[in-house]
Amino acid sequence: FLDDQAWLENRRIMELIRGLERKAVAVRDNPPQQLGMGLEMPIPELNLVMDRPLFSPPLRPDIHADALLADDQAIDTEALFDQVHVDRQALEAGIRRALQDRDQISLAELLEIEPLEQGLAELVTYLAIAAEHDAALIDDRSAQTIAWTQADGRRRQARVPLVVFTR
């Protein structure tokens, strides 16, 4: 019984293959003028292992102890509970817009085009985007100073590693 069933299945497969061959021979001499489907991307997107940068361990932050000394002033703890939401997708869209007319852009150049609106939280989000994407380079050996003005008018600056976004 099993042999008969296998023989019938093989026979059905061979009939289907012969039918396809007949249709292919019939279309060979007179191919259709319009294709039923088009390609969105004419070339495949390749992600090769060698295109990824090698791992480089991050440098330890240089924290000056004199800046951490506590003074006798009362600290307002309400600032710890103020939550700021940074729109990560808007920042990524800004990076893509900046890379439309150039191959690479540093974080400092990007912030000249699109200044920080939410201060340090937005800067940290840019650093997180750079750390997660293979197309971004973070050079811990070089540093750049990023300056911004807070909503209350105070001028702030942070020294961060050199960050370069590429296409």
Per residue in 58-101, pLDDT tens?
777 666 666 556 665 667 777 677 777 889 999 999 999 999 98
Q: Which domain holds residue 129?
A: 103-167
Task: Judge if pTM exceeds 0.95.
Answer: no
Q: Are 108 and 116 in contact (CB under 8 A)?
A: no
Count of structural domains, the chain: 1
DSSP state of 80: H
Q: Is residue 19 part of a domain?
A: no
Q: Is residue 118 part of a domain?
A: yes
pLDDT of 165 reads 92
63 vs 4: which has the higher pLDDT: 4
Half-sphere exposure of 137 (CA within 13 A, CB side): 16
Q: Is residue 142 part of a domain?
A: yes
Q: Is residue 86 part of a domain?
A: no
